[in-house]
Structure 1
Amino acid sequence: MRLLLVSDTHLPKRAKVLPPQLLDELPRADVVVHAGDWVDTATLDLLEDRARRLIAVYGNNDGPGLRARLPEVAYAELGGLRFGVVHETGPAQGRERRCAARFPELDVLVFGHSHIPWDTTADTGLRLLNPGSPTDRRRQPHCTYMTARVADGRLDEVTLHRLPRRT
């Protein structure tokens, strides 16, 4: 099972459209995970139309229209792994400990908010993934997203993809 992980699209504030490279990944993904801060409902509509399966949450920049359609936290079993999705996890310091305590039942937690890619594992075995942002790199050198594969109850091939700078 191929996953496409994305967060913090912030359309149309940070960019007018999703990057073509990211859109090209949609038909290859069995599941698209979006960890919030969509800003517009058009992007949600687009991913709902094009994704085979979408697991998504709202973020702190998402208004009433998105909050009415999305949960704050989403859960799914994918290929034998228990996934959670949330937008915000707090400061980087102590993140693994906090998230492991908040989500003891999960194997993988996908989050956003910081626009900073993140891939760590808590002492409990909880894998924490932040794909960064495909449209707003902030202080990062590149806009990013992630892909991963779930097979036989294992998460592997977790890959951070760097997008070319927009001109």
Structure 2
Amino acid sequence: MTQSFTILPSPVGALTLVASDDALHAVLWEDDDPARVRTGAVTRADDHPVLRETVAQLQAYFAGRLRVFDLPLGFVGTDFQKAVWAGLLAIPYGETRSYGALAATIGRPGASRAVGAANGRNPISIIAPCHRVVGASGALTGFAGGLAVKERLLRLERGGVALL
């Protein structure tokens, strides 16, 4: 599969966006561990239609004007990971869920640790909102973009100041 990328300078750092011809496959953080999400060979293509639309929607999100993304997503992972990532897409803007609640949502109660591991490998950060998953006590827990960024994204969604 041929993949293209572009880099979006954003208020939470430079984001590398990766897409195939017809779907977004990754939103990667500036200091992302290359082993967290494997993309294979990619070619820079700033004019790629899926990437251009992703840039536009992320900019609207950071400006506080977009609550629901409408992009073709191409998750690559195990069936369990895909179920977790689909569960992320169901968490409403401005709300959070615990790992246990997410596990129950996907029909796997008791699998909160496995849900946490799959959440940590979410390839499409922000758009598949892994930042909306918190610990059972409501405490912020691991996030590939860092806990400070997780807090900023949640504050934005809870009516805080736009990030742009």
TM above 0.5, yes or no, is no
Which structure's residues are more often strand, by fraction? 1
State the TM-score, normalizing by the size of structure 2: 0.32
State the TM-score, normalizing by the size of structure 1: 0.31
